[in-house]
Amino acid sequence: MTDMLSTGHQASVERTKLIRAGLRKRHLTENVFKGLGLAAIIVALGFVALLFVDIVRRGAPAFTQSNLHLSVTFDPAIIGVEPAPVRTDGQSDADFQAANLKWQRDLAMLNWNKVIEASLRAAAPAGFEIDTKDLLAIAETDARHQVREQFVADPSLLGKTVEVDVLASANAQNWIKGNIDRSLPDTQQQLSAPARALIDEMVASGAISNGFAWSIFTNVDSRSAPASAGLLGALVGTLWMMLVVIVLAVPIGVASAIYLEEFAPKSRITDFIEVNINNLAAVPSIVFGLLGAAAFINYMHLPISAPIVGGLVLTLMTLPTIIIATRGALLGVSPALRQAALGMGASKTQMVFHHVLPVTFPSILTATILGVAHALGETAPLLLIGMKAFVAAVPATPFDQATALPVQIYLWQGNENRNFFEPRTAAAIMVLLLVMILLNGVAIYLRSRLEKRA
C-alpha cells in the first residue's frame, strides 16, 4: 500500500515536474508570441515615424530661401530708352496706349542682365575675377524681369541706385544650403569655382541671407526660374477640384443613400445597385482615370487638364464612400424616432428629411470630410486626364488648365535638378500632408462634438 502510495506520489511529483517543465516552455512560447505582436506594432509605428521624420527632414530646407541683397543702379548708359511717355493735351487714348506699349516694348528689348551683372560685380570684393556667365548663374533667371518691372512701375528710378532683393538661383541655393556635396570635383559642380567662392564671400559679408520661402505659397510653378517655383497654381487647382467633389458628391451620395435605405423596395434592382456600389468602392483608382479619359475627354469633349474633369472623376470615386457611410448612419437611427414622427402624422418623406436626416448629420459630415481627404491625395487618375501638363497659371475657373497638389509633387520629383527639387518635393508633400491632417482633425473634432449633442 505504502509502496503504491509512494509511487503514486512520485508519479504525481513527476507529472508536476513534467507540467512545470512544459509550462515553462509554454510560457516561453507565450512570451515570444506576445513579443512578436508587440514587435509588429513597433514596426508599423516605426514606419509611420520614419516616414514623417524623413519627409520633414528632407523638406525643411526648402522652406528657407537665399536672397541676394543687391544695390541695383538704373544706369542710363545701359537703360538707353526715352523717358516714359507722358500724356499730352489733345492726345487720344489709343495714341497714348500705343506710345506706352512701344516704351514698354523697348524696355523689354533691353539687356537687363547687364544691370544685374553690374550690381553683382559691385557686391563682389574689389578685383574679383569672374566671367559674366558664371556671375549671372548666381542670381535667379527671373531677377531681370523683377528689376524691369520695378523700373516700369517707377520710371523716375533712372540714374538712381536702390536696394533690391532677388532670389539666389537654384544652383546657388544648393551650394549655400549644402544640398550638394561641397567636396565634389569641379566637373561635377553646377557652378564654377569663382561663382562658388563669390557666394561664400557674399554669405560671409551678409549680402546673401536666408529668409522664409513665402514664394512656395505665393508663386506658381516655373520652369525657367526653378528657385521661385511655387505651389499656388496647384493649390488653387486642388481647391477647384475639391469644390466640384463637395458640390456633386455630397448631395448625390446622400440622396442615393436615402433612397436605398429609406424608400427603395427590396427588389433585385436595389440589390444590384447595392452590390454595384460595394464593387465601385473597390475599383482601382486608375480605372476611374481611364473612364475620365474615355468618357469625359474623348466622348464629351470637356477640356483636357481641367479641374472640372478631375473633380468629376474624383466625385465618382468618392460617391461609394459617402453612400456607404450615410447608409450606415441612417441604419443607426433609432426606430422610435421614426415611429414618433410617423405617429404625429408626418409623411415618410417628412420623417426622413425633418427627423432622421438631421440626426445623422455628424456621421455624414465626417464621412464626407474623410472622403474628400482621400480624394485630395489621389494622383493616378489625374495623370490620365492630362493634369500632368505643365501649367504656369492660377486657374480662374474649373474649366481652365490646372494641375493639382499631388500631381505637382509628381512633376517636381521628376525634375532634372534633383538636388534642388528633392527638398522642394518633400516640402510640397509636407503641405499636402498638413492639409490632410487638418481635414482629418476637423472630422474627428466634429464627430466628437456633434455626436455628444445628438
Partner 1 sequence: MNSLVIAGLLLVLLGLAYQSGWSRSRGLATANGVKVHSRPQYHGSYVAIWTLVPALVIVILWAWLGDGITHNFIVGQIPVETVQSLDQVGLNATIARIKSLASGYGVAGEVLPYEQTAGDALRSFQFITFLVVIVAAAVAGVVALLYARSRITARLRARNAVERVINIALLACSAVAILTTVGIVASLVSEAYKFFTFIHPLDFFFGTVWNPSFSSTGGGAHGQYGLLPLLAGTLMITFIAMLVAVPVGLMAAIYLSQYAHHSFRAVAKPIIEILAGIPTIVFGFFALVTVGPFLRDVGGFIGLDIKATSALTAGVVMGIMIIPFVSSLSDDILNQVPRTLRDGAYGLGATKSETIRNVLLPAALPGIVGAFLLAVSRAVGETMIVVLAAGNSPVLRGNPFEPVATITVSIVNQLTGDSDFAGPQSLVAFALGLTLFVITLCLNVFALYIVRRFREQYE
Cβ partners under 8 Å of residue 206, min gap 6: 69
Q: Which stretch binds partner 1 (CB under 8 A): 80-88, 151-159, 233-241, 250-258?
A: 250-258
Question: Of the two residues 121 and 374, which places its CB atom closer to partner 1 in the complex?
Answer: 374
Least gap, CB of 273 to partner 1 (angstroms): 6
Residue with cell 563682389: 124
Interface with partner 1 in residues 202-241 (CB under 8 A)? none
Q: Within 10 A of 271 (CB to CB), how many other CB atoms are there?
A: 11
Phi first, then psi, for residue 368 (nearest 5°) are -60, -50
Least gap, CB of 434 to partner 1 (angstroms): 12
Least gap, CB of 41 to partner 1 (angstroms): 5
Least gap, CB of 159 to partner 1 (angstroms): 40
Question: Of the two residues 187 and 267, which places its CB atom closer to partner 1 in the complex?
Answer: 267
231 touches 408 (CB < 8 A): yes
Least gap, CB of 198 to partner 1 (angstroms): 31
Question: Of the two residues 157 and 302, which places its CB atom closer to partner 1 in the complex?
Answer: 302
Q: Within 10 A of 268 (CB to CB), how many other CB atoms are there?
A: 7
Interface with partner 1 in residues 343-402 (CB under 8 A)? 347-349, 373-374, 376-380, 383-384, 386, 388
Interface with partner 1 in residues 434-453 (CB under 8 A)? 436, 440
Chosen residue from 76, 251, 332, 358 binding partner 1 by CB under 8 A: 251
Question: Of the two residues 166 and 384, which places its CB atom closer to partner 1 in the complex?
Answer: 384
Q: Which stretch binds partner 1 (CB under 8 A): 78-86, 101-109, 204-212, 247-255?
A: 247-255
Q: Within 10 A of 31 (CB to CB), how many other CB atoms are there?
A: 10
How many of the chain's residues bind partner 1 (CB under 8 A)?
86
Least gap, CB of 389 to partner 1 (angstroms): 9
Q: Which stretch binds partner 1 (CB under 8 A): 82-90, 158-166, 361-369, 418-426?
A: 418-426
Chosen residue from 64, 413, 415, 419 binding partner 1 by CB under 8 A: 413
Interface with partner 1 in residues 265-324 (CB under 8 A)? 272-273, 276-280, 282-291, 293-295, 297-299, 304, 316, 319-320, 323
Question: What is the Cα–Cα distance from 340 to 52, expressed in whole angstroms?
Answer: 51
Question: What is the Cα–Cα distance from 174 to 420, expressed in whole angstroms?
Answer: 6
Least gap, CB of 415 to partner 1 (angstroms): 13
Q: Does 126 contact partner 1 by CB under 8 A?
A: no
Per-residue string for binding with partner 1, 23-42, x by CB under 8 A? ---xx-xx--xx-xxxxxx-
Q: Does 169 contact partner 1 by CB under 8 A?
A: no
Question: Of the two residues 17 and 25, which places its CB atom closer to partner 1 in the complex?
Answer: 25
Least gap, CB of 60 to partner 1 (angstroms): 14
Q: Does 55 contact partner 1 by CB under 8 A?
A: yes
Question: Of the two residues 157 and 433, which places its CB atom closer to partner 1 in the complex?
Answer: 433
Least gap, CB of 403 to partner 1 (angstroms): 13
Question: Of the two residues 78 and 264, which places its CB atom closer to partner 1 in the complex?
Answer: 264
For residue 212, what are the β-bridge partners?
A: 64
Least gap, CB of 30 to partner 1 (angstroms): 5
Give the pairing type, strands 64-73 and 208-212: antiparallel
Burial class (CB in 10 A: 0-12, 13-18, 19+), 202: buried
Question: Of the two residues 29 and 339, which places its CB atom closer to partner 1 in the complex?
Answer: 29
Question: Of the two residues 38 and 86, which places its CB atom closer to partner 1 in the complex?
Answer: 38
Question: Of the two residues 130 and 367, which places its CB atom closer to partner 1 in the complex?
Answer: 367
Interface with partner 1 in residues 83-122 (CB under 8 A)? none
